[in-house]
């Protein structure tokens, strides 16, 4: 099982670990602990490097398989053996942009639910840009500016962002979590990681976030699209 160091401290950039398993077909190594975020919840995986003895291995993709995180290495390098000690370092510039973008998406969800009662149904992001889908029948062109002003107000309000890991039964009693379809969590999951933008949004979420909404910077609503009568997609960009 890989210990997910980024879950309680998303600001960690480097770490030491041990190789616990190999996936030779995919040229990947599992580690006993990691700060690399494997893709999930709309947030793409981190990139970076693993250093083993004098060799530096570029990490091109990261994926969670079962309870192990596999780090896919550049195929030009031979795989290290199980038991090797490694030093890891993520591409912090990319990761911090993803943290700011991910928190921007939660601000958008929180504001749209608070102001219009519309629930989010999905989303996807890249560094500094993202899109979210809502059940939002009344979304029209005129609302785009209003939404942009409201979300940037919440950036300026500098809400703290807190992460907690709660027992399943306790999480299932929080009304805000029930609306974000926490009931879809697989039965076997006993611990629920919760990301709270204090006073604005609370979600079961595995991603990495900034510690305060003021770190996000200006969010631009660049476009929206109808995906049917009820389903609407909103596109945002975060300033560089």
The residues of the shown chain that bind Zn ion, judged by CB under 5 A, are 41, 205, 207
Nearer to Zn ion, 127 or 207 (CB): 207
**Phi and psi based region of residue 137 (left: phi greater than 0; alpha: psi -120 to 50; beta: remaining):** alpha
CB atoms within 10 A of CB 167: 10
The CB density around residue 213, as the number of other CB atoms within 10 Å, is 30
Of the pair 2, 180, the CB lying nearest Zn ion is at: 180
Query: CB-wise, 48 or 207, nearer to Zn ion?
Result: 207
Nearer to Zn ion, 80 or 207 (CB): 207
CB of 103 to Zn ion, least distance (A): 9
Give me the least distance between CB of 195 and Zn ion, in Å please: 7
* Cβ–Cβ under 8 Å, residues 239 and 218: yes
Least spacing, CB of residue 121 vs Zn ion, in Å? 13
Q: How far is the CB of 99 from Zn ion (least distance, A)?
A: 11
Minimum gap (Å) between residue 209 Cβ and Zn ion: 8
C-beta of 162: minimal distance to Zn ion in Å?
A: 14
- Residue closer to Zn ion, measured from CB, 148 or 208: 208
The strand order across the sheet containing 129-135 reads 119-126, 129-135, 231-238, 219-226
Q: Is the dihedral of CA 148, 154, 160, 163 positive or negative?
A: negative
Q: What's the half-sphere exposure (Cβ side, CA atoms, 13 Å) at 67?
A: 6
Alpha-carbon dihedral 144, 227, 117, 149, rounded to 10 degrees: -10
Closest CA relative to residue 201, chosen from 216, 191, 189 = 216
Q: Which residue is nearest to Zn ion (CB)?
A: 205
Please identify, using beta-carbon distances, which residue of 17 and 202 lies nearer to Zn ion. Answer: 202
């Amino acid at each position: 099982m890989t210990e997910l160091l980024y879950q309680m401290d998303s600001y960690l950039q480097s770490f030491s670990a041990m190789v616990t398993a190999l996936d030779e077909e995919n040229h990947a190594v599992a580690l006993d602990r990691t700060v690399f975020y494997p893709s999930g919840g709309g947030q793409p995986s981190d990139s970076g490097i693993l250093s083993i003895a004098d060799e530096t291995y570029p990490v091109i993709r990261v994926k969670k398989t079962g309870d192990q995180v596999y780090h896919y290495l550049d195929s030009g390098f031979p795989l290290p053996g199980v038991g090797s000690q490694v030093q890891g370092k993520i591409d912090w510039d990319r990761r911090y942009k993803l943290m700011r973008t991910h928190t921007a998406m939660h601000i958008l969800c929180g504001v749209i639910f608070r102001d219009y009662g519309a629930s989010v149904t999905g989303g996807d992001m890249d560094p500094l840009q993202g899109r979210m889908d809502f059940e939002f029948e009344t979304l029209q062109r005129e609302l785009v500016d209003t939404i942009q002003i409201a979300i940037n107000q919440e950036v300026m309000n500098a809400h703290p962002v807190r992460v907690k890991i709660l027992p399943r039964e306790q999480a299932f009693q929080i009304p805000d979590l029930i609306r974000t379809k926490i009931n879809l969590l697989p039965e076997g999951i006993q611990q629920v990681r919760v990301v709270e933008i204090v006073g604005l949004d609370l979600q079961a979420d595995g991603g990495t976030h900034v510690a305060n909404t003021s770190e996000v910077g200006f969010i631009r609503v660049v476009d929206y699209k109808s995906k049917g009568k009820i389903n609407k997609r909103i596109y945002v960009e975060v300033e560089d």
